[in-house]
Amino acid sequence: AQKVTQAQTEISVVEKEDVTLDCVYETRDTTYYLFWYKQPPSGELVFLIRRNSFDEQNEISGRYSWNFQKSTSSFNFTITASQVVDSAVYFCALALYSGGGADGLTFGKGTHLIIQP
Amino acid sequence: EAEVAQSPRYKITEKSQAVAFWCDPISGHATLYWYRQILGQGPELLVQFQDESVVDDSQLPKDRFSAERLKGVDSTLKIQPAELGDSAMYLCASSLGHQGGGAKNIQYFGAGTRLSVL
């Protein structure tokens, strides 16, 4: 069975600070995908990024960056120069690869990020 | 921009009553998922459809929950009878599935139905 651990339940920082959200995963499969989703107070989960297990390149998108390290089974998410609009619950998730399609996601418990003005 | 539509947004019901939720996925998405999210937790998969067929319902409490996607498009999730512990957010998601190439397993979520069982 798969497992995703987000040890930080809640993080509070002041606007413009950098913040890193940790994600550690467990799976016996060699082919899998990792995801990050954002859940604002409205409730809808918003897709941020997907990485596959064969691609360990870090990725940067504007103020967001992701660090994928298979050696430590981690997929951490950093927000640079945080803004109040970044306040939300962030979920890390894992999906196994099935050749015919896409498996359901296994989510972590989420990290509630609070950006104070 | 295409969205996953869910209704109702909120539902209050009494214990032992029946309740149903509806989901309309993004047009062309072959795979549809129902998740349950308890307050303060991450979503948990209940059932996955590929077109009209159930791919995974191993976590669906089949004594009281049922799900269908008769024409391979929209879907209904039903609970009968509802119990106090069913109070949660019910999220629907869809993905391109096997037709989608590299983007096939990116799941897009609806706004959810928040269920309160009294």
Task: Extract the runs of DSSP E, i.e. beta strands, from chain A.
Answer: 3-5, 10-14, 19-21, 24-26, 32-39, 46-52, 59-61, 64-69, 74-79, 88-98, 101-102, 106-107, 111-116
Over pLDDT 90: what percentage of chain B? 83
pLDDT beyond 80 at A99 = no
Distance, CA of B92 to CA of B5 (rounded, Å): 8
Shortest Cα–Cα distance, A55 to chain B (Å): 13
Using a CB-CB cut-off of 8 Å, the residues of chain A touching B108 are: 47
pLDDT beyond 90 at A102 = no
Q: Which residues of B88-99 are buried (b: 16+ CB within 10 A; e: fewer)?
A: bbbbbbbbbbbe
Residue of B nearest to A97 (CA): B105
Amino acid at B116: S
Inspect the interface and report whether the beta carbons of A47 and B106 lie closer than 8 Å.
yes
Inspect the interface and report whether the beta carbons of B106 and A43 lie closer than 8 Å.
no
Q: Which of A42, A47, A107 sits opposite B43 (nearest CB)?
A: A107
Cβ neighbours, 10 Å, residue A14: 11
Using alpha carbons only, what angle is made at residue B111 by residues B105 and B85, rounded to the nearest 5 degrees? 100
What pLDDT does residue B99 have?
Answer: 58
Q: From first to last of its 118 residues, what are the pLDDT tens digits of chain B?
A: 679 999 999 999 999 999 999 999 999 998 999 999 999 999 999 999 999 999 999 999 999 999 999 888 999 999 999 999 999 999 999 998 765 555 668 899 999 999 999 9
Using alpha carbons only, what angle is made at residue A17 by residues B40 and A72, rounded to the nearest 5 degrees? 60
pLDDT in tens, A20-65: 999 999 999 888 999 999 999 888 999 999 988 888 888 888 999 9
Inspect the interface and report whether the beta carbons of A103 and B48 lie closer than 8 Å.
yes
Using a CB-CB cut-off of 8 Å, the residues of chain B touching A50 are: 105-106
pLDDT in tens, B44-67: 999 999 999 999 999 999 999 999
Shortest Cα–Cα distance, A28 to chain B (Å): 19
Q: What is the mean pLDDT of chain B?
A: 92
Distance, CA of B45 to CA of A95 (rounded, Å): 11
